[in-house]
Amino acid sequence: MEKIVIIGGGMGGAIAHDLALRGFSVVVVEKGELCCGSTGRHHGLLHSGARYALHDVATAAECMTENRILRTIAHQAVEQNDGLFVALDDADLAHYKPFIRTCNAAKIPYRELRVDEARRMEPELSPTIKAAVQVPDATMDAWRLAMHFFASARANGADIRPFSEVVGLLANNGAITGVEVRDHQRQATYVEKADMVVNATGPWAGKIAALLDIHLPMKPSPGVMVSMQPRLVGMVINRLHPAGEGDIVVPQRNQSILGTTAWIADDPDEVMLPAEHVKQMIELCAQMLPQLAHLPVVAAWSASRPLLVSAAEADPTKISRASQVIDHALTDGVEGLLSVVGGKATTMRAMAQKVVDRVCAKTGREIPCTTGHTVLKHYRRFFWR
Amino acid sequence: MSSFQIKISRFKPSIIDPPAFFSYELTPDADWTVLDALEQIRIHQEPSLMYRRACHHASCGTCACTINGVEGLACKTKLADLGTQAITLEALHCFQRIGDLVTVRSTLFQFMHPDWSCLQPDDKRDNHDFLLSGDGRAITKFENCIECGCCVSACPVARKNRHFLGPAVLSAINREKKKNPSTENDLLSLAAAPDGEPSCQRALVCSRVCPTGVYPAKHIAELRNQRKRTGNTA
């Protein structure tokens, strides 16, 4: 069968898994350690979709579908803990009814709680909260979820190569023929032939496309996260308002992880950590969990969302988080190159399905996707030889 | 801050072989971690530098290395807290090294069985009705152990005896048998084998270097006490 080279060892694992299950020959190249880009360093929220309910019902519904699937196929990568949306003031309360309405529309199960009930479940919640809704959010382990996909892909024959950086895309007569790879271990550059290439490098996708002078209007939209100790809550705590900044606390192990901010940057390699964002986030999240104002910081870091920037929307929190598969034969006259952009870790399996459906269509094959009900190998099996 | 000297033990099979120290100079911001320094060295000075990283907040365990001789996570160790501007970074001991600071922890996972659960009940929380399962299962959270390998690398027994199960696996055994009592006899036998808990010399460095508070030495002591109580030997 056709040989597909995937560039990017983040969600590339989910694509490799799907391709391998459908019988393709698969190579994944990643310039650093697997998951060293955006896939490995998000705050670890397995979305119920409720975060997007107020402004993007389609994305919300897709999150809920994938949430159910990931709990089943990778249950060791997910805490069983649920989430709460809390309203803090009258402005938040104005969103309460639309929130419930759109949760229904997106088929997100929920439970409306009395304020005293919510505070009994999570005693660290601010005594001033005005409403609370329970949703099936969960905490996931970013690294372990992605490694479940890599472990499964490798078990089915995919060749996974970390520390292998793509430095060139090779094309002949307008069709991709392979990639040029810098092997950082052997300090040598080689050519890997391919029938098709999938650019799954997230915020780096524009840089990869530029190797063939293709313009992809990709911008990294970094967000700052702060982890503090100890864990204050069992459940994920969200502020009930349209997605904004400093409005989520994801508990993980013994940490409380605060998120996030959003801006548009130019270069994903040069994203800095603005100190004022850290301060602002702690202040905002402490409105939900007052104790956060007094906790020590374990780490503060940023991760870049991979956003396709249109001229029409300048506010990064409003740009759609839906994923897109771009076929460069249609947009740029280059046959055999797909780029996958946008999206989020919760929907990585569905994104991979979209990519591989397109690979099948382009190679004239009709092979159904089975990743939705194929239980993944435990991530430890990636290392367990 | 003023300039820091970062000395990195580098290794590339048959290229930088045997391993050799290379020095890099940089002027960090006040809040930089060791991982930030590695990223800046790779981007601006040495593109072929190999090190592992993913989560950036002590949750994935990939960036473990030795920092001035002591095992730790690069992502949560601030340069300013090291008390010196001369920093030496080396790969973990006990594991196969494939390049620079990168080790493959297959030997850890060889004994850490995939069937052992990564989740534990969250005792501090009231259980509640879950929206999806509805079966009243306990609220769970991830085990503190992030399988970084720091405890194994620091253990004087593991450094000499590659068959020793090691502190990470022994503490996983002790946790798993509590969560899953039907496996207790088998797991106790595994732990009581000559290369298991009886090989531990109680150096306690495993607990000192553990970046996530697992305290492996405490788990090993529990296994030892249980063996003595029950007379369970392999």
Q: Phi/psi of residue A85, each to 5°?
A: -110, 125
pLDDT digits (tens, 9 = 90+) for B169-211: 999 999 999 999 999 999 999 999 999 999 999 999 999 999 9
Separation CA A102–CA A308 (nearest Å): 25
Interchain proximity A384–B109, CB inside 8 Å:
yes
**Cβ contacts of A358 within 8 Å, gap of 6 or more:** A325, A327, A338
Q: Which chain A positions have a beta carbon within 8 Å of B76's beta carbon?
A: 298-299
Domains in chain B: boundaries? 4-103, 105-230
Lowest mean pLDDT among A299-308, B31-40, B87-96: A299-308
* Model confidence band, residue B131 (pLDDT cutoffs 50, 70, 90): confident
User: What b/e readout covers B213-233, taking b as 16+ CB neighbours within 10 angstroms?
Assistant: ebbbbebbbbbbebbeeeeee
Q: Which one of 1.10.1060.10, 3.10.620.30, 3.90.550.10, 3.30.420.40 gives the CATH number of domain B105-230?
A: 1.10.1060.10
Q: Would you say residue A285 has pLDDT above 70?
A: yes
Residue A312 confidence (pLDDT) above 60: no
Q: What is the pLDDT of residue A273?
A: 87
The predicted pLDDT at position B124 comes to 73
Whether the Cβ atoms of residue A10 and residue A39 lie closer than 8 Å to each other: yes
Question: What is the distance in angstroms between the Cα of A375 and the nearest Cα belonging to chain B?
Answer: 14
What pLDDT shows up at residue B9? Answer: 98
- Average pLDDT on B71-84 reads 97
Question: What's the pLDDT score for residue B111?
Answer: 87
Percent of chain A with pLDDT over 70: 97
Look at B126 and A298 and tell me if their CB atoms are within 8 Å.
no
Is A12's pLDDT higher than 60? yes
Does residue A284 carry a pLDDT above 80? yes
For A134, the closest of B50, B131, B140 (CB atoms) is B131
Average pLDDT value for residue range A250-259: 96
Q: What is the pLDDT of residue B232?
A: 57
Q: B133: pLDDT confidence band, cut at 50, 70 and 90? A: low
A233: Cα within 13 Å, side-chain hemisphere: 33
pLDDT at A334 over 60: yes
Task: State how far the Cα of A4 lies from the Cα of A359, in Å rounded to an integer.
Answer: 9
Q: For the segment B13-56, what is each residue's pLDDT rounded down to a tens digit?
A: 999 999 999 999 999 999 999 999 999 999 999 999 999 999 99
* Distance separating alpha carbons of residues A73 and A244, to the nearest angstrom: 31
Instruction: State the Cα–Cα distance between residues A335 and A319, nearest whole angstrom.
Output: 28
Contact A227 B57 (CB under 8 A): yes
- Res B150: pLDDT: 98
Task: Tell me the pLDDT band of A310, cut-offs 50, 70 and 90.
Answer: low
3.40.50.1220, 3.90.1150.10, 3.10.20.30, 3.30.565.10: CATH of B4-103: 3.10.20.30
Q: For residues B82 and B68, is the Cβ–Cβ distance under 8 A?
A: yes
Question: Which of B42, B48, B123, B142 is the mutation pick for testing A, counting most A CBs within 10 A?
Answer: B142
Token pair, residue B9, equals: 């033990």
Task: Please write the tens of the pLDDT for every residue from A89-121.
Answer: 999 999 999 999 999 999 999 999 999 999 999
Q: How confident is the model at residue A317 (pLDDT cuts 50, 70, 90)?
A: low
Q: Which of B10, B128, B143, B212 to mutate to test the interface with A (most CBs of A within 10 A)?
A: B128
Find the closest chain B residue to A182 by CA distance: B48
For A306-335, what is the mean pLDDT? 80
Helix (H, G, I), strand (E, B) or coil at B185: helix
Contacts of B178 (CB under 8 A, 6+ apart): none
Residue of A nearest to B138 (CA): A80
Decide if pLDDT at A165 tops 70.
Answer: yes
Number of C-beta neighbours around residue A297 at 10 A: 15
Distance from CA of B109 to the nearest CA of A (A): 5
SS (H, E, C) chain A: CCEEEEECCCCHHHHHHHHHHCCCEEEEECCCCCCCCCCCCCCCEECCCHHHHCCCHHHHHHHHHHHHHHHHHCHHHECCCCEEEEECCHHHHCCHHHHHHHHHHCCCCCEEECHHHHHHHCCCCCCCCCEEEEECCEEECHHHHHHHHHHHHHHCCCEEECCEEEEEEEEECCEEEEEEEEECCCCEEEEEECCEEEECCHHHHHHHHHCCCCCCCEEEEEEEEEEECCCCCCCEEEECCCCCCCCEEEEECCEEEEECCCCCCCCHHHCCCCHHHHHHHHHHHCCCCHHHHHCCEEEEEEEEEEEECCCCCCCCCCCCCCCEEEEHHHHHCCECEEEEECCCHHHHHHHHHHHHHHHHHHHCCCCCCCHHHCCCCCCHHHHCC
What number of residues does chain A have? Answer: 385
Under the banding of pLDDT at 50, 70 and 90, the label for residue A244 is confident
Minimal-distance CA residue of chain B relative to A234: B125
pLDDT at B137: 60
Nearest by CB: A384 against B114, B126, B138: B114
Please report the pLDDT score of residue B95 as a whole number: 96
Confidence of residue B6 (pLDDT cuts 50, 70, 90): very high
Q: Which residue has the tokens 């529309």?
A: A105
| Unique residue bearing structure tokens 């709460």 | A84
Q: Is the pLDDT of residue B90 over 80?
A: yes
Residue range A14-24: mean pLDDT, rounded: 98
Within 8 A of B105 by CB-CB distance, chain A residues are 383
pLDDT at A243: 82
Statement: residue A179 has pLDDT above 90: yes
pLDDT of residue B222: 97
Label residue B140 by pLDDT band (50, 70, 90). Answer: confident
Confidence of residue A293 (pLDDT cuts 50, 70, 90): very high
pTM, full prediction: 0.96
The complex's ipTM works out to 0.95
Q: Which residues contact B12 (CB under 8 A, 6 or more apart)?
A: A185, A186, A187, B48, B50, B99, B100
